[in-house]
Amino acid sequence: MSDSEGQSLLASTRNGSHECLDSISRTKSNDDLPPTDTGKDAWLCLAACFLIEAILWGIPFSFGIFEEYYNTHPPFSTHNGAGIASIGTSATGLMYFGAPVVSYVLHRWHHTRRFSSAIGLIITTIALVTASFADTVWELILTQGILYGIGGSLLYNPMIFYLDGWFDRRKGLAFGILWAGTGISGTVMPLIIDWVLQNHGLIITLRAWAFGMFALAAPLVYFTKPRVPPSRIHKSEHSSSDFAFLATSTFWTLEICNVIESLGYFMPLIYLPSYAISVGQDHFIGTLAISLINFAAVTGNIMTGALIDHLHITTVILILTTGSAVVVLVGWGLAVSKISILAFSVLYGLFAGGFKSTWAGSAMEVKKLGHEVEMGVIMGLFPAGRGLGAIISGPVSEGLLGLGFGGEGAGYGFGTAFGVLIAFTGLTALVSGYPWVFRACGLGVWRD
């Protein structure tokens, strides 16, 4: 053996010894960590995340109530509806679309996660307070839309990393429970917002919720914490992420499906109150319809999360998207009576309302390909896909309504000015089930 070969062998042996010692050291240092999936710490973190989710998303997911109010009350009604839909879609879009950037920062610098939550809560509070001073639509887009979306993204995304660390075998269920928080808030918030708007006006509504949100969420931030403290994360884990998964067909198949589904998903949430009035129902039916969508989404998200722990993700997506398409094209398309509108709302919440919970399953499917990257980084890209769809859906919906279709020839919901929106929502839901077809046909790489 030559001297150079001997030195190489010695260096290799030393490196192997160091790696072994590092591994043993990390294992010993993690022996005293709280257990995953069980114990009070894991479930306290999940409960806090659930409540923050409910508090944060109550305003964006109740925007249909604001949309109807802005269209019928000055000074915003003088705009003839132009740009109003973009207020709600800007907030939801940015909360989703900012996820990749925020997730990368949170992954790269672990110590910023709790700081991010606190700053995000402050920004969302400021956004609603400043929105109460607005007297033009563009000011509402900047405050209730864009600023709220930025703050919400900072508050929301650390929770994805926390739950990924706290849950392993029950990961799908944990994320399903997290996203069920949106449904709980969306059930109660439309009724509360509508009552306050009608009795006290916009200024009181926005300011009351701003201060109420801060008072409720601030104590909860303490319980949203990582299982492994940042100071105990090994230095090598701070290296840049493995973004090789971005080159896989598996990721892009699931991401594009996510974007397509989101293009139509928000249409009922934005327009059901106005639709109900257009078919002769009173104002309360539209408000109740939004509440029922969100109420049913609680069950939808939890059921979807449980299914992800037992079925392949493409199968779960197919169940949700096919169900959503049938519910929209038949349920909304024929809904003109009180009972039919409310029945549609419940079924839509069960199927479409649970779609967000597929992100955990999609991220786990990508990780099965062997990519060593935190789930929070992968999952940050799926909300971005929904955010893209949400932002596009605002002007698209206004454009479709501007076509002036409906009112002649067709019947039921399709005979109204909203008929083209119903068809668009159903079509996007149907098409977004294609990952199951790809897997069945052997297209792409999938792990069973």
Asked if residue 380 belongs to a domain, the reply is yes
- Phi and psi at 307, nearest 5°, equal -65, -35
Query: Would you say residue 15 lies in a domain?
Result: no
User: Rounded to an integer, what is the distance from CA 164 to the centroid of its chain?
Assistant: 16
Q: What range defines the domain where residue 139 resides?
A: 35-226+244-440
Would residue 3 count as lying in a domain? no
pTM for the whole thing?
Answer: 0.76
Residue 169's CATH number: 1.20.1250.20
CA–CA distance, 160 with 126 (Å, rounded to integer): 24
The answer as to whether 249 is a domain residue is yes
Q: Is 296 within a domain?
A: yes
Report whether the peptide linkage leading into residue 75 is cis, meaning its omega lies within 30 degrees of zero.
yes
- Domain assignment present for 327: yes
Quote the number of domains for the chain. Answer: 1
Q: Is residue 447 part of a domain?
A: no
Helix 171-220 × helix 158-166 angle, to 10°: 130
Per residue of the chain (448 residues), what is the pLDDT tens digit?
444 444 444 444 444 444 444 444 444 445 578 888 788 888 899 999 999 998 898 888 778 788 888 888 888 877 665 678 788 878 877 887 788 889 888 888 888 888 999 999 999 999 999 999 988 888 999 999 999 999 999 998 999 889 988 888 888 889 999 988 887 887 888 788 888 988 998 899 999 989 999 999 999 988 888 887 766 665 444 445 568 888 899 999 999 999 999 999 989 988 888 899 888 888 889 888 988 898 898 899 999 999 998 899 999 999 999 999 999 999 998 988 999 999 999 999 999 999 989 999 999 899 888 777 788 888 889 988 887 887 788 788 888 887 766 554 456 788 888 888 999 999 999 999 999 999 999 887 887 6
Find out whether 64 and 269 touch, Cβ atoms under 8 Å: yes
Residue 321 lies in a domain: yes
